[in-house]
A = this chain, B = another copy of it.
Amino acid sequence: MGVNLKDIAQRAGVSLATVSNVVNGYRPVGERTRQRVQQAIDELGYSPNLGARHLRRGRTGLIALAVPELTNPYFAELAEIAIAEAAALGYTLVMENTAADRGAELALLDGSRRRIIDGLILSPVRVGRKEVLARTAGGPLVLIGEGVYDVPHDHIAIDNVAASHAAIRHLVAIGRRRIAFIGATPGGDRQSAHLRVRGYREALAAAGLPYRPRLVARTDAFGRLDGRRAMRELLALGDPPDAVFGYNDLVAIGALRALAEAGHRVPEDVAVVGIDDIEEGRFSAPTLTTIAPDKREIGRLAVRRLVARIEGAEVAGPLTVQTPFRLVRRESTGTPGD
């Protein structure tokens, strides 16, 4: 099909190996030879056959980013950053959608099925420490966003408990006392939900507010629809909350919708806070106060760590990195300022 090493070698009158060395810089090549080869490459328009290169090297140059939902803007924004960073490092990123399915996560972790990927960035939601530890094949693994700790892999996330604290402190500071949480989840799934609930409880206690289990709404998933349903349930309580903290921005936006439909004013009657700082929250009515993780840092760091591991480089620092976050006040808590 295309132009290959042999063509270049013939044109430049050198051996295959020399051309390869010019292309890869693996061994020094004399200046005159290099120029002849480079000229031949330019003239014939050579680009290496990646399949062959990868067969020989044992690596494909592909890394995967597996997320529970592609359509969650948080992950779309993260993916955009990760794709750019991967490209800058000479890798191609493929997106995988686990659809928050345990089987899909396990299949990715197993890694033996598809030997096409050099390494994996995974946002796990249905697997825990044990399943992660069971990974033996498939190359390096970087975990993002969840609370699977004590595994021999890089793990990049915000401090979920501290993030909750910040959100609740803000709601308390603006005078709210019946603060609900939307997005708790039963069992061992979705560690981050447990951590965010923990932060919520701790912050309530620190503020001297009672913990009311009925104000903690469970959801099956974490989309707008789930947030709306949960908010409706909370509103149906005899004594509804005066503030809501959502597991993420999508849930919070669903809650905003339920509040609007029920005729409640935000933030006057109910204040709302989310997590993720997706662009949608800057244009919702009202705009959404949120905990903003540093998505750029998370995306770039995850890719850089993974690539470093793949290439066998020494990586300094601890496996677990907590990236910074900040509270962004907008209309849904009555204190616009973004």
Contacts and interface: CB of A to CB of B under 8 A. Distances in A.
A70 B79 contact: yes
B224 A283 contact: yes
A157 interface: no
Interface size class, chain A:
35 or more
Interface stretch (A29-37, A146-154, A252-260): A252-260
A270 to B, nearest CB: 14
Q: How many identical chains are in the complex?
A: 2
A115 B49 contact: yes
Given A47-B114, A283-B257, A94 B94 contact: yes
Interface in A36-59: 45, 47-52, 54-55, 58
B137 A2 contact: yes
Given A84-B97, A283-B224, A50 B1 contact: no
A60 B70 contact: no
Nearest to A224: B283
B60 A71 contact: no
Contact of A115 (B50, B70, B282): B50
Contact of A254 (B61, B62, B283): B283
A335 interface: no
Contacts of A228: 283
Nearest to A257: B283
Nearest to A266: B285
Contacts of A269: none
Nearest to A83: B97
B49 A253 contact: no
Given A1-B58, A97-B84, A112-B2, A257 B285 contact: yes
A166 to B, nearest CB: 25
Report which residue of A49, A73, A114, A283 has the largest number of chain B beta carbons within 10 angstroms of its beta carbon: A283
Contacts of A205: none
A325 to B, nearest CB: 20
B285 A112 contact: no
Interface of A: 1-2, 45, 47-52, 54-55, 58, 60-62, 70-71, 73, 76-77, 79-80, 83-84, 92-97, 112-116, 137, 223-224, 228, 253-254, 256-257, 260, 279-280, 282-285
18 contacts: A1-B58, A47-B112, A47-B115, A50-B60, A51-B54, A71-B279, A76-B76, A83-B95, A92-B114, A94-B94, A223-B279, A253-B283, A256-B285, A257-B285, A260-B285, A280-B280, A284-B285, A285-B285
